[in-house]
Amino acid sequence: MKKTTPNILILGGGVAGMAAAQTFSDQDVAVHLVERESALGGHAAMWACMATDTCQNCGACLSIEMADQVQKQENVISHLDTIVETINKAKQGYKVILENKETFNVEKIIMATGFSLFNPVQINSLHYDEYKNVITTAELNTILQKETLSGYFNGKPDPKIAFIQCVGSRNREQGKDFCSQVCCKISMRHANKLTHLFPESDITLFYMDLQIIGKEVRPLFKTLSKNIALVQGVPAEILEDTETNMLTIVAEDKETQSRVSKAFDLIVLSVGMQPSPTLETTAGILGLKPNSWGFFNTDQAVLAEDVIIAGCANGPKDILSSKQDGRIAAAKVIEDLGLNTNNKLNIAVFGQGTQADQAAEIISSKGYSTYLFGPGTSLSKDTPVTFLNESNIISISGTAGNFSLYYESGNEKKYLTCAAIIAAFEPEQSLNRLENISNEFLSLDAFSQMIEKKPDTCPDNSVILLDYFGPEFKSFARLALKTSVKAKALGKNISIIMNKTLVHGALGQRLYDTARQQGVDFFRFETREDLKFEDSGNGFLIKLRETTLPSIELSLNCDCLVLPPSLTPAEGFKDAAALLRLPLDREGFLQSANTRHRLTRSSRKGIFFAGTCHDEIDKNDLDNEINDILSALSTESFELPDVDTGVEINQGMCAQCLTCIRVCPHSAIVMNKKNRPQIVANACFSCHLCVSNCPAYAIESKELTNDQIAQKVEKDKMVILACERSAALAAGSLTLPDHITLIPIPCACRISSDVILKALLNGASKVIISGCHEENCRSMEGSNIADASVRQVLSIPGMDASKVAWEPIAANETKKFERIISKARG
Amino acid sequence: MDTATINKTSTLYKMLNQFELGNNISECLTCGACNSRCTWFNGEGGPLPRQIIRMAALGLDEQLVNSNMLWDCLLCNRCTQGCPMGISMDKVVRKARSLAIADDTIPKDIKIGIKNRIELGDVNALTTEEFVETVEWVSEEFVDEVDDPKAEIPHDIKGTKLLYLPNPRELGINLLHLTAMAKLFYATKETWTLSAHHTDVTNWGYFVGKDDIAKKMVLMVVEPAEALGVETLVLSECGHGYHALKYLMEDIIGRKPKFEVVSMPELIVRYAKKGVLKFDPGVHPYKIAYHDPCNIARKSGGYDAPRELLSMVCEGVVELIPNREDGVCCGGGGGILQDSTSKNKRMITGKPKADQMTATGLPNLATACLSCHRQLSELSNHYKLGIKVDTVASLASESLIL
């Protein structure tokens, strides 16, 4: 059921292009997708899996699944292995001629041409082209995918490995005065993976300002700071010791205050992002002009009316943000072309602060009936939002498109039916204090307000202290930079004491450069012990052991000491999570770090998160989050369509024990009016967990009953029950040997001990269950459930332990899949 | 632990922040790249380059002046090559050396040399009479050498095409080098001269960072040359002389000179390409390693002429690793060689160079600076490398076919 003939062109089949294509396809809008390479997936599809014991939330494996799904979409006409030859402005839209002379007309173009990686050959002193063991992050990915890393260590169990950050980033002399944003995370995940693969390895990560940003990165940093050496200062030269063949780096030794030579077996250059090599040509054809970096992420770039830029063509982005960007771009096109036929829905927004207000305001401006469970303090009275302040939500039932909110308002209890819920609660903001100091501090917020509103009261000497109460949140770091520049413009002295500058974001580095040019002083400290504070008159005396000058104690006087607040999970987050039936993350913020649902979604359709209640965001990120939610609201179906979920409840056998309702990770099973459990097709993700968990065997899978699975088992053959989103995709391109039967299953949680035993009884020589890594399961617990089922079977007395195994394999771990089946054969 | 108070009104801070974007030390990202590229490598003692920049950026003038780093720095600029903000260590250190509070730190020999140069026109205090006497005596020898009665080493002749500015060593302990250069001038068949008011290619004002002295010394070269009305000033092989008189000339005196400036190797290559000068590479039947003088190569971009010339007069050039913009200082830069008390330290600063030389496995090495030449020769002796060190121009002279 196509709504249109394809008159949209997507340039680039990477994450952003594929996300856009999927969004169109979900709306039955047909599109052309042109990709230069012979397969979809872009850079992300070449990235290695970063999982250790659990998923590390990088999202790379998603690109393989996306490619698989996009290829199957009838609405997406893929033109692989080809490029656009010319695009001419037609009367309406554009006439597109491909390299293979295929010609078609389109109205809108999404340019998702991606990025390329900085080539370190340009920096002679790194000797990247000469020394075999100097590699880039991209090469490390390939090596990890191929599982050939040990070949670089000459059999050493304890290799010395260095990561060097900011190679080709944050360098004004190279015209790259921007932070590539992803490299710190990539290297941190790489280092973590290497500590896992080589527990005796000795890893040093040399960074300029470690960008510890995001809910998944903060816990990773905590782990890493115990396991590897994190060293501030990026070496700019690598030499080879001709005697030992070790790679050497000269670095500052803090203890002896001298330069020492350090030897490494492998050095990984964390290379930055730059525009795709074909961008200039493509931009030329389309009449666009990128900015001096070659991206479109500043006002300097010139855009064209019917062309929308998405993904890394817009500037450096991680996988999840690229995916988000692609969806937003597609939603915009759908809106521009008037293809959005969704009914205007009721939307509930939860939250007491400005982030919820902003979400409510934007959602309502698009015509949705918006109900704000919060005071809406920052909204004007005539905003078309229904304010349900001082209303206490008692319970939420129902599913996407038909949530029923039961709430108390005054003494009355009421119901509200809504299609979707946006949780935009505020985290706890607590003012920080320093011990043994009696003079008044100023909060960062108050200081920034003072500079804005009462500049004449700004003190002459101010100090902003960042990172002292834990890694600073990006928004506060950014506010500190902006405020310091303004204070400087007023002719005041201002210093920022920090552990690292968060320059993340399109203009972060330029803002930091401006601040230094204007004379804002920056001081770096390593640990809290490097700083001492005293009252001094009405002001403060700060004694500082600066990272760059550790043998001198610097004294710094100021009239005003500015402290940012700490952000912690609010007390109500636990209750909110219980109400939404969704888990918290490791730090206690809302939303799990599972990349299947991030950035804004959840395992429950129609429940979204926005703002700092779930992740570290600045204003720009919040805009993107709200646009992403809007894209879901406008392009996804919230009605109750007649889709086949593949599972049904045999009401005759149902014992009404409610197990299914309790276990469903998507809360897609509800009690119907007849007090019977009912699967809501629209909210069901078809994971089959209810099937494997129903004690009465009343929930049946149409094509994957226990018997049907067991029937596929052949005698004396090894059976791999493989999740179709991960292990089955990893196996995809392999020709499996005859003694192996691969049975795709919708999720590892489909497997119960029954299925395993049936397979063994039918003569399977071995049963392997394989699915996503823990924390990467779309249905949240699939890997844990499969693992538990395997252990349950193994606990049967007399069971041969070699007969059953659980193996987590991500979609991008083909080599691991191969290794596991070859090991199992032996 | 030392204590210090940040002083954004310090003399050094104010001086350095007059520089334009890119030379403004406040822009330092504290990325630490410079720390990994100091020419001392992991040798004992020596500077931590980032600390120099940070002390300057925080107005800690006294701490910087009192640290050894001020004179341990060899001004080779290797550390800030590739600085993401384009900061130049050479500028920062020389400004710090120029501070009044740093006067006492200036090595005695450099002080005397500067005094001699300003007062007598020559660092070695060579007087005009001594100059004339020396040149005329060398000239007589030169006639025998080229076996041409009309040959001479001319001085103070107006309107010649070329004017040669020698290194003081060529009028002192290394007279043979002057003869060798004379031979090359003779072979160009151009008019050329020396000048009695114009005997010294060096500029120690540059070492001490004092702009007024550096300028005076440059003008002591420019004005006599302009008075003679020459077309081209030919610099003897001298690193910092080349940097000051060619690369920085206009910055220092605020105008273009009325003549062109080339180095001796550049001049020879030019005449060789015209076919005027011809060489017999068979005189040096071996491959030779080439050392880039920092002031000529990294700091002034003069990479090619010496290499081109060596490939004409030997069997070929072998590169030291690393080289060119990443070249390692000989260990004698920044005024350290001019300080007669520095020998022990110079053998530490030169250790990485000595290692590089050894790694070539060759017994011959050339360079295009007489200071580097002296330091490299001393390294060869000290570390028993058995490597013969020559200047590029002297090898050319040996290979010259007359």
Among B25, B36, B37, B88, most A C-beta atoms within 10 A, so best to mutate, is B36
Nearest CA in chain A to B2: A552
- DSSP E strands, A483-551: 493-498, 521-524, 531-536, 539-545
Percent of chain B with pLDDT strictly greater than 90: 87
The predicted pLDDT at position A2 comes to: 54
pLDDT tens column, A795-810: 999 999 999 999 999 9
**Pairwise CB contact (< 8 Å): B30 & A554:** no
**Residue A555 neighbours by CB distance under 10 Å:** 16
Contacting residues of A for B17, CB less than 8 Å apart: 519
* Rounded Cα distance, A153 and B311, in Å: 40
The predicted pLDDT at position A824 comes to: 75
- Shortest CA gap B310–chain A (Å): 24
The predicted pLDDT at position B42 comes to: 93
Dihedral Cα B258, B262, B268, B273, nearest 10 deg? -80
Backbone φ, ψ for residue A621 (5° rounding): -65, -40
* Rounded Cα distance, B157 and B159, in Å: 7
Q: What angle do CA A783, A786, A790 make, to 5 degrees?
A: 135
Question: Is the pLDDT assigned to residue A826 strictly greater than 50?
Answer: no
Q: What's the rounded mean pLDDT across residues B298-308?
A: 97
Give the end-to-end CA distance of chain B in Å, rounded to a whole number. Answer: 67
Question: Is the pLDDT assigned to residue A697 strictly greater than 80?
Answer: yes
Structure token digits, residue A74? 């009838």
Whether the CB-CB separation of A56 and A776 falls below 8 Å is answered with no
Whether the CB-CB separation of B287 and B360 falls below 8 Å is answered with no
Structure token digits, residue A455? 């500049």
* Rounded Cα distance, A684 and A669, in Å: 8
Contacting residues of A for B81, CB less than 8 Å apart: 125
Q: Residue A627: which residues within 8 A CB-CB, separation 6 or more?
A: A328, A331, A362
**What are the residues facing B43 on neighbouring strands?**
none
The predicted pLDDT at position A477 comes to: 95
Nearest Cα to B300, choosing from B21, B77, B45, B14? B77
Structure token digits, residue A712? 């596929």
Q: What's the rounded mean pLDDT across residues B303-331?
A: 97
Whether the CB-CB separation of B221 and B227 falls below 8 Å is answered with no
Structure token digits, residue A556? 């710094």
pLDDT tens column, A507-519: 999 999 999 999 8
Nearest Cα to A254, choosing from B78, B48, B57, B33? B48
Q: What angle do CA A317, A321, A322 make, to 5 degrees?
A: 70
SS (H, E, C) A519-536: CCEEEECCCHHHEEEEEE
Q: Which of A259, A517, A551 sits opposite B1 (nearest CB)?
A: A551
* Rounded Cα distance, B321 and A325, in Å: 46
* Rounded Cα distance, A109 and B339, in Å: 69
Confidence of residue A745 (pLDDT cuts 50, 70, 90): very high
Nearest CA in chain B to A236: B33
* Rounded Cα distance, A373 and A423, in Å: 10
Whether the CB-CB separation of B203 and B214 falls below 8 Å is answered with yes
The predicted pLDDT at position A343 comes to: 65
Q: Lowest mean pLDDT: which of A343-347, A368-372, A767-771?
A: A343-347
The crossing angle, in degrees rounded to 10, of helices A217-227 and A183-197 is 50
**Pairwise CB contact (< 8 Å): A242 & B2:** no
Contacting residues of B for A549, CB less than 8 Å apart: 51, 54-55, 58, 60
The predicted pLDDT at position A1 comes to: 46
Nearest Cα to A689, choosing from A606, A775, A777, A764? A777
H/E element, A77: strand A76-79
Look at the block and give the residue holding tokens 């025998």: B144
* Rounded Cα distance, A485 and A489, in Å: 6
Question: Of B18 and B130, which is predicted with more confidence?
Answer: B130
| Integer-rounded Cα radius of gyration of chain A | 28
Look at the block and give the residue holding tokens 């504290």: B30
The predicted pLDDT at position B169 comes to: 86
The crossing angle, in degrees rounded to 10, of helices B264-273 and B304-313 is 60
- DSSP E strands, A278-368: 307-309, 346-350
pLDDT tens column, B47-73: 999 999 999 999 999 999 999 999 999
Window A:259-278, CB contacts with B under 8 Å: 259-261
Nearest CA in chain B to A513: B27
Contacting residues of A for B28, CB less than 8 Å apart: 516
Nearest Cα to B290, choosing from B192, B366, B396? B366
Beta strand A307-309 with A239-240 is unpaired
The predicted pLDDT at position A733 comes to: 83
The predicted pLDDT at position B22 comes to: 46
The crossing angle, in degrees rounded to 10, of helices A15-26 and A619-635 is 40
pLDDT tens column, A145-163: 999 999 999 989 999 999 9
Question: Is the pLDDT assigned to residue A362 strictly greater than 50?
Answer: yes
The predicted pLDDT at position B144 comes to: 87
Confidence of residue A640 (pLDDT cuts 50, 70, 90): low
Whether the CB-CB separation of A815 and A145 falls below 8 Å is answered with yes
Q: What angle do CA B350, B235, B238 make, to 5 degrees?
A: 10
Q: Which of A125, A249, A548 sits opposite B54 (nearest CB)?
A: A548
Per the prediction, chain B carries an average pLDDT of: 94
* Rounded Cα distance, A329 and A29, in Å: 14
Burial class (CB in 10 A: 0-12, 13-18, 19+), A223: middle
Structure token digits, residue A79? 């033109």
Whether the CB-CB separation of B362 and B284 falls below 8 Å is answered with no
Whether the CB-CB separation of A698 and A654 falls below 8 Å is answered with yes
Beta strand A699-701 with A647-649 is antiparallel
* Rounded Cα distance, B13 and B95, in Å: 10
Q: What's the rounded mean pLDDT across residues A193-207?
A: 97
Q: Lowest mean pLDDT: which of A123-132, A551-560, B27-36, B119-128?
A: B119-128
The predicted pLDDT at position B173 comes to: 86
Nearest Cα to A164, choosing from A127, A208, A128? A208
Q: What angle do CA B375, B376, B380 make, to 5 degrees?
A: 120
Reading across the β-sheet that carries A391-399, which strands appear in turn? A391-399, A402-409, A412-418
Is the pTM higher than 0.90? The answer reads: yes
Question: Of A640 and A306, which is predicted with more confidence?
Answer: A306
Question: Is the pLDDT assigned to residue A235 strictly greater than 50?
Answer: yes
Nearest Cα to A184, choosing from A100, A70, A268, A248? A268
Question: Is the pLDDT assigned to residue A390 strictly greater than 90?
Answer: no
Whether the CB-CB separation of A409 and A362 falls below 8 Å is answered with no
The predicted pLDDT at position A342 comes to: 67
Question: Is the pLDDT assigned to residue B21 strictly greater than 60?
Answer: no
* Rounded Cα distance, A204 and A234, in Å: 11
pLDDT tens column, B203-262: 999 999 999 999 999 999 999 999 999 999 999 999 999 999 999 999 999 999 999 999
pLDDT tens column, B136-173: 999 998 998 888 988 999 999 999 999 999 998 899 88
Whether the CB-CB separation of A68 and A21 falls below 8 Å is answered with no
* Rounded Cα distance, B7 and B12, in Å: 10
Beta strand A391-399 with A385-387 is unpaired
Window A:473-502, CB contacts with B under 8 Å: 493
Q: What's the rounded mean pLDDT across residues A244-272?
A: 95
The predicted pLDDT at position A278 comes to: 87
Q: Which of B2, B45, B48 sits opposite A553 (nearest CB)?
A: B2
Q: What angle do CA A40, A42, A44 make, to 5 degrees?
A: 120
Nearest Cα to A500, choosing from B30, B56, B24, B52? B30
SS (H, E, C) A136-202: EHHHHHHHHHHCCHHHHCCCCCCCEEEEEEEECCCEHHHCECCCCCCHHHHHHHHHHHHHHHCCCCE
**What are the residues facing A497 on neighbouring strands?**
A465, A523
Q: Which of A235, A250, A517 sits opposite B41 (nearest CB)?
A: A250
Three-class secondary structure of residue A577 per DSSP: helix
Nearest Cα to A80, choosing from A114, A31, A37, A43? A37
Contacting residues of A for B321, CB less than 8 Å apart: 239
| Integer-rounded Cα radius of gyration of chain B | 21
Nearest Cα to A388, choosing from A376, A404, A403? A376
**Residue A254 neighbours by CB distance under 10 Å:** 14
Nearest Cα to A82, choosing from A11, A8, A6, A15? A11
**What are the residues facing A609 on neighbouring strands?**
A423
* Rounded Cα distance, A32 and B363, in Å: 67
Three-class secondary structure of residue A267 per DSSP: strand
Structure token digits, residue A257? 């205050």
